[in-house]
Structure 1
Amino acid sequence: MSVTVEIAGLPPERIVFTPSPLGELGTALHALSEPGHHPAVHGWTTATNAALKPDLADRLCDADFLWRTTFADIFMGFAGLRDPAAQPGATLADDLDTLDRLPDEDFVAAALEFTCVSTYGKAAPSPLADPQMRERAMDLAAARGQRQMDFTNWLLTDPTAVREWIRRLFEDCDQAFFADTWRRTRVHLAADARHKTELLRHKGLAAALESVSQALTLDEHGTRIEVDKMADGRTTAVDPAVGVGLTLVPTTFNWPHLTVLHRPGWRPVLHYPVASGDLPGHSSVEALTLRMEALSHPLRMRLCRSVARAPYTTGELAGILGLTAPEVSRHLSVLKKAGLLTTRRRGRYVQHQLDLSIVAKLGSDFLETVLR
């Protein structure tokens, strides 16, 4: 599984690394609503949530579908403009002004992204203009409770008023906590963007992508970027009708999420967490799948129980488990292919042992992969 970004013929100068105040506010709001996803900023989320005034906290609950389950594309509204020069601004006000330029149909479709779970990445009409999409949006909102249904109905009925309400909400967040947060984080984010721009310039796109995340790879021909995620999707950075360009936006809040904006008719955006040495590393979807499948067999679980305690040869394990040596060898091969075993030769004997460091990381690897 992966999300593919087509970049054949994309000029290097149209690949931009830049922070986004509105994007950072979106990830901050997600961290506040889902603090369990973001242990690295636990102190900040706890203190900020505790300091929120009741009125602001209540309004955030009204609109939290914009950032809780999915990261709505309105936080990257610049990518929806038919203006390839449009990029994140220097201030939150700049980004909000850019968002105001987005047509109502695009704004509503992006805001109601939760209604497009099965159709995201495919061309579909806006719920504001299409009765069937509107009905679908209301049905899905109703399944999530009265508050969300009321807000969705308001958005579909009076998008101008809701857009003004959302802008005011973001401005109040800025006054309450985000302005101070942005002052502290923007220097770090700008430095990261400059560093990756220099890598792009001097060492090429493959090196720049590797520095962003091991989940990003450039194909051998340099024509597409593959994003290793538990989802399938495709987009292009070279659609002249939309505007040629790819934007990569760093964030301090988003780990373990690596988000890819691949909405049809929008330029692609990669929103990536800035690396931190105290966070778990990347595990590929393929590697995690191999390990989970290897451990799903009861005989291999029994093998793991033995080789977790001490190294054993194939013959010793056959005697312990009452199996033939070829049977044991087949199961050991599966565990070894999954990277769960280490082997060492002692004379004419080969001993197998469980790699405890890899097994100990399976829980965090699973969470990092499914949340990426």
Structure 2
Amino acid sequence: MAVVITLQGAVPADVAVGLSPLAELMACLHSIAEPEHHLAVRPWLERVRTDLSPESQSLIAVYAPLWTRRRCRLLMPLEPPLGRTLEQELDRLEALPLDDFVMGVAPSVHGGVFDTRDLLTDESVRTAYTVSSERRSFSRGELARSLLQAPERMRTGLLELLRRCAAEFFDAEWGRVQHRLEGECTRLRARVQALPLPEALASLSPNAVVRHNPPAVVFDKLQSLRADLRGRRCLLVPSAHSRPHLIVKDDPPYPLVVHFPVENTTQVERATLAQVRLRLAILSDPARLSLCRHLVNEPITTSDLAVRTGMSLPQVSRHLGRLREVGLLTSRRDGRQIYHRLDTDRLMHLGVDVLTSIIR
């Protein structure tokens, strides 16, 4: 699975590099909702989660589908120019036609694969969408009903939450990281002008590969996407809070957006030599490693894993059991469903654990 951006006929003028405080706020909200992905900003997360008002914490959880697995395209810049203030971006979202708001938010609320093209006009599609969202989680089902039954009220509530977050923590954080991100923009603009476009885009990720005939850049991600940049705009937006995620969103009629992380540091933990050896052995199995790519993104059930990977339920259960034995899996019950998640804390530190085991 990969994201492929084809660049045949694209020129540097098609690419805009700049800041988006709204996209950075979404990255912050993602890290608040999914702290296990973001070890590099853990001290900041602990401070923010302590200082957030109870009402804000509750609302962040309600709207979480918009910034967890399938981040909402409307919370990224909708058009050039980049570099607008947060309030200008929120005003643009508030002025968006209501039908465009519904269609832009619906995929993230659902969070999976669902054809939303007739969502505005076909009652059977609306019903199926709500039921399918609820099957993914109760909170997604509730948000889907709010979106379809009272979209203006939902948008008003979302905007109020984003402005609350700006006042409670984001304005201060944006003031801290803005200069750093502006420096990254300056360096990237220079690369876009000096390098062939595929090489410039590939510089956004160490896991990117340049292809020729036709020219393209391939990002190794748990996502299948092919986008053609010919005749389109591409917005490159750096983030101090999105690591380890590089996000590519292709939702016409909006420009293609690449929201990419800038470098961060992270703290490490220690594990015993026996734990390191056992975890490496468990992860060496190709089928188990394939499961991990799904388990890292969001809580998921055994049956969903079987559908996504083509394995049988007993096979998936055995692999999950081995991951749990070595402390790489967490599970929680939600009603009748049990959701599993990779322990990214321990997984991200495994490389350091190997080195520590060798030199101690």
- Higher Cα radius of gyration: 1
> Which TM-score applies when normalising by structure 1?
0.68
Query: What's 1:364 paired with?
Result: 348
| Residue 191 of structure 2, aligned match among 191, 199, 202 | 199
In the aligned structure 2, how far is the partner of 1:41 from the partner of 1:294?
26
Question: Per the alignment, do residues 4 and 101 of structure 1 end up closer, same or farther by CA in structure 2, a change over 3 Å counting?
Answer: farther
Query: What's 1:133 paired with?
Result: 125
In the aligned structure 1, how far is the partner of 2:203 from the partner of 2:134?
42
Query: What's 1:171 paired with?
Result: 163
With 95-104 and 26-35 compared, the bigger mean Cα shift is at 95-104
Question: Per the alignment, do residues 132 and 365 of structure 1 end up closer, same or farther by CA in structure 2, a change over 3 Å counting?
Answer: farther
Question: Per the alignment, do residues 146 and 232 of structure 1 end up closer, same or farther by CA in structure 2, a change over 3 Å counting?
Answer: closer
Give runs of aligned pairs for residues 39-118 of structure 1, distance below 5 A: 39-79=39-79, 86-114=80-108, 115=110, 117-118=112-113
Question: Per the alignment, do residues 106 and 224 of structure 1 end up closer, same or farther by CA in structure 2, a change over 3 Å counting?
Answer: farther
With 187-196 and 267-276 compared, the bigger mean Cα shift is at 267-276
What letter corresponds to residue 57 of structure 2 in structure 1?
Answer: A
Q: Does 1:252 align with 2:267?
A: no
| Residue 263 of structure 2, aligned match among 255, 263, 275 | 275
Q: 3-state DSSP class of the match of 1:184?
A: helix
Aligned partners of 2:19 and 2:237 also within 8 Å: yes
- Segments of 5+ residues of structure 1 without an aligned counterpart are 80-85, 281-290, 298-361, 368-372
In the aligned structure 2, how far is the partner of 1:218 from the partner of 1:276?
25
- Superposed CA deviations along residues 127-155 of structure 1, whole A, max 9, x for unmatched, are 23333432232113323555543332121
Q: Does 1:7 align with 2:7?
A: yes
- Segments of 5+ residues of structure 2 without an aligned counterpart are 269-279, 287-345, 352-360
What letter corresponds to residue 245 of structure 2 in structure 1?
Answer: H
In the aligned structure 1, how far is the partner of 2:47 from the partner of 2:215?
45
Q: 3-state DSSP class of the match of 2:219?
A: strand
Q: 3-state DSSP class of the match of 2:78?
A: helix
In the aligned structure 2, how far is the partner of 1:110 from the partner of 1:29?
18
Q: 3-state DSSP class of the match of 2:245?
A: coil
Cα displacement (A) at 1:199: 1.2
What letter corresponds to residue 94 of structure 2 in structure 1?
Answer: D
What letter corresponds to residue 255 of structure 2 in structure 1?
Answer: R
Aligned partners of 2:133 and 2:140 also within 8 Å: yes
Cα displacement (A) at 1:62: 1.5
- Superposed CA deviations along residues 182-224 of structure 1, whole A, max 9, x for unmatched, are 1111111111011011111123324423431122233224632
What letter corresponds to residue 156 of structure 2 in structure 1?
Answer: E
Cα displacement (A) at 1:278: 5.3
Q: 3-state DSSP class of the match of 2:203?
A: helix
> Which TM-score applies when normalising by structure 2?
0.70
Q: 3-state DSSP class of the match of 1:70?
A: coil
Q: What is the percent sequence identity of the aligned residues?
A: 25
Give runs of aligned pairs for residues 208-287 of structure 1, distance below 5 A: 208-221=200-213, 223-239=215-231, 244-276=232-264
In the aligned structure 1, how far is the partner of 2:94 from the partner of 2:113?
27
Query: What's 1:296 paired with?
Result: 285
Aligned partners of 2:209 and 2:219 also within 8 Å: yes
- Superposed CA deviations along residues 20-67 of structure 1, whole A, max 9, x for unmatched, are 100000000010111111000000111100101111111222111111
Cα displacement (A) at 1:169: 1.1
What letter corresponds to residue 82 of structure 2 in structure 1?
Answer: P
Question: Per the alignment, do residues 150 and 363 of structure 1 end up closer, same or farther by CA in structure 2, a change over 3 Å counting?
Answer: closer
